[in-house]
Structure 1
Amino acid sequence: MKIDLKTYGLTDQIDQLAATQPELTLARVTGQHRERYDLISAVGPLPAQVAGKLRHDLSVETDFPAVGDWVLTTLAPDHQLALIQTVLPRQSVLERAAVGKTGAGQIIAANVDTIFICMSLNANFNPHRIERYLTMAWDSGAVPVVVLTKADLCADVPAKLAALADVTLGVDVLTCSAQTGDGLAALKDYVTGNQTVSFIGSSGVGKSTLINGLLGHAALVTKEIRADDDKGRHTTTSRELLRLPAGGVVIDTPGMRELQVQGGDLTKAFADVTALAVHCKFRNCTHHTEPGCAVQAAIVAGTLAAERLTSYRKLQVELSYSDMNAREREDAKIQRFFGSKKKMKQARSHMQQIRRR
């Protein structure tokens, strides 16, 4: 039986790109297991690996296929394996810095239309974490939606929404409960036709439970959070693309214990700060002590929280380091804190003299 790839998110643009190489078979990456991939094509599921020539041509890890990618393939001589010859241009890409790999990126999902940023309304609630996720999500090219889970465990939902008001400017915010089913219908409104959505968030916030609700059955394993500290336990261990019965597809991702931002769009994630910065007296205002700083004036007036500017600066610094190697990052930190290596050595010498007294 031939499979209609539109039910797996195929768009006219991707279809037209594939038509330029009719000798190759179009497929979408639905799973990744080290160097092996799961694909879905018009003829059905296919196991695959990257063809030797493509592997040689790819220069960085993020150029390799990822879950959600559309690829062009051929069949290996034994017809038991597809060989990925081309990765078609991505319409969006959700990326973070790879943990423990300075300067390296890691693709979370590709060709996503809507990113559901999940955070539970228990002890996991943290507005600063949402700031980081939104910075990454806006940079991806997809549209972020904040999903607050476990509403049945929260005594004052309006207060939590108020705490997120500045952080989520221009972003839809949904509240839901897997226990009661509240909010699930609102989620379904975002997954129509050939739309692709992805769920991201910390372990234990209920991503897999929500996806099971969209699927209509318990396809993904779920676990209860630890009762002593409300912290989640990893359930999803790999990325997986699943077709939804009502249309559209969803990409499940493992929980992130550590979110290192690889790239980000601060103009959208901090729209309040950037809107004020336009009115600063100096174009290159750093919003510290410059005269005529509209951002500092808003903090004094109480219309902008000081914590927002602190978060903005922190992410600014982190993003400036994201494309550096270890040596470049160390040199940049020395320059930032001391001005030069010479001044750093002078500062250390001064501190040693003080300790000797």
Structure 2
Amino acid sequence: MEDLAALGWTADRATGLPGGTRPARVTRVDRGLLTVDDGAVESRLPTGRAVGPVAVGDWVAVGEGRAVAVLPRTSAFTRTVAGRGSDAQVVAANLDLVLVVDSLTGAARLRRVERYLAVAWSSGARPVVVLTKADLCAEVGVGVATVAEDAVGVEVLAVSAVTGAGLDALGALLTPGTTAALVGPSGVGKSSLANALAGELVATTAGTREDGRGRHTTTARQLHRLPGGALLVDTPGMRELALHDDAGLGAAYADVTALAAGCRFRDCAHRTEPGCAVAAGISDGTLDPARYTAWRTLQAQAHRQELRADAKARALEHGRLRARARELRRRPSR
């Protein structure tokens, strides 16, 4: 298992490995095919529906030339699928670090960073904010301080894939066997950062559009081995990042929840109730009202997602019962 250790394998994972199979890590997922690394060689394997959804970073059990099971995950960056559905989509699995990437060009996009941090905290991995394109920013310190004040309890790093500034500090987090994922919207420099960390071209890059919006360059999630022994998942830009649950909101908005804990009434709605510590924080400037509004918005979105998921579960159970009733009616009387 020594070669597997370089891929992040730990001895405790062996308890979930079915007999007669060997472990391998998923480095890429294509329709009906997985690219896996078993520590010695990468290979392409088919997978059946019985295995269930597989994500980049997953550990799978390989037997008879195919993936036969997904081993239990220790963490997963999960969002709700784009559109109006309620299904969860695992973007990357078994992560140690989630690198939330945004750019230092233009005004700080705090609400966007907060949303990514909420999902990152929910993943079970450690979030870090990485602000790219430091070479294009005249006041890097101000940009970092602005985001750091908002990203409570999270390390914020400024880097440049062009000049190499900040890459040593980021590289110090990417220790051997550590798995990190780059997440963020298109155009913030994820692919350029992946190339800089890898020391070679592992992802295509493109400039931003004339309207300032990013271009999609990474089209598939992929796990790369870095020269220092860490592993990096490069992900395509996400136009939508819907929370699948509210598990990460408390950490992402720790300052807001700390204030809310001091309200006079446990069920305080933080509007006009007497003794509301949140309202007091907004009044005295302790809490940015825009941050409070974002917190409430994400709470509402997570609640709606929970209701949709419950409704889907109820509909599936109702359908199962109806199918069972039809089957009983078709049987001859005894």
Q: Answer yes or no: same fold by TM over 0.5.
A: yes
Q: Gaps spanning 5+ residues in structure 2: where?
A: 313-334
Mapped contact 2:144–2:158 kept (Cα < 8 A): no
Alignment match, 2:288: 305
> Alpha-carbon deviation of 1:164?
1.9
Amino acid at match of 1:25: R
> Quick one: distance in 1 between partners of 2:254 and 2:26?
34
Q: Counterparts of 1:215-294 in structure 2 under 5 Å?
A: 215-226=198-209, 228-264=210-246, 265-294=248-277
Distance 2:176 2:15 in 1: 19
> What is residue 93 of structure 1 aligned with on the other side?
76
| Aligned partners of 1:199 and 1:252 also within 8 Å | yes
Give deviations 1:235-259, integer Å, cap 9, x for gaps: 1000001111211211110011222
Give the equivalent residue in structure 2 for 1:121.
104
Pair 172,118 (structure 1): closer, same or farther in 2 beyond 3 Å? same
Alignment of 1:43-62 (within 5 A): 43-51=40-48, 54-55=50-51, 58=52
Q: CA deviation at 1:120?
A: 0.5
CA shift, 1:326, in A, is 9.2
Look up the match of 1:13: 12
- Percent identity between matched residues is 43
Cα offset for 1:30? Answer: 0.6
SS in 1 for 2:180: strand
Residue type of the partner of 1:29? V
Asked if the contact 1:3/1:43 (under 8 Å) is kept, the reply is: no
Match of 2:63 among 74, 78, 102: 74
Q: Residues 24-43 of structure 1: matches in 2 within 5 Å?
A: 24-43=21-40
Structure 1 gap segments, 5+ residues each: 59-63, 76-81, 330-357
CA distance in 1 between counterparts of 2:117 and 2:132 reads: 17
Distance (Å, rounded) in 2 between the aligned partners of 1:260 and 1:120: 21
Question: 1:266, 1:312 within 8 Å by CA — same for their partners in 2?
Answer: yes
SS at match of 1:4: helix
| Residue identity matched to 2:174 | V
> Residue 68 of structure 2: SS of its match in structure 1?
strand
SS class of match (2:307): coil
1:40 and 1:16 mapped to 2: Cα distance? 20
Question: Which amino acid in 2 is paired with 1:243?
Answer: R
Q: Does 1:65 align with 2:54?
A: yes
Per the alignment, in what secondary structure is the counterpart of residue 306 of structure 2?
coil
Q: Output the CA distance in 1 between the equivalents of 2:215 and 2:14.
A: 40
TM-score by structure 1 length? 0.82
Q: Distance in 1 between matches of 2:114 and 2:299?
A: 12
Deviations 1:92-134 (A, max 9, x none): 0001111124212211100000011000011374110001000
Residues 46 and 66 in structure 2, CA contact (< 8 A), matched pair in contact too: yes
* Residues 12 and 327 (structure 1), Cα distance of their counterparts in 2 relative to 1, 3 Å cut: closer
Question: Aligned partners of 1:46, 1:176: CA distance in 2, in Å?
Answer: 34
Matched residue SS, 2:150? coil
1:169 aligned partner:
152
CA contact (8 A) 2:270 2:276 kept: yes
Cα distance between partner residues in 1 of 2:255 and 2:39: 46
Tell me how far apart the structure 2 counterparts of residues 37 and 316 of structure 1 sit (CA, whole Å).
Answer: 36
SS of the residue corresponding to residue 283 of structure 2 reads helix
Taking only aligned residues, the RMSD between alpha carbons, in angstroms, comes to 2.0
Conserved 8 A contact 1:166-1:272? no
Structure 1 CA distance, aligned partners of 2:86 and 2:273? 32
Q: Structure 1: which amino acid aligns with 2:5? A: K
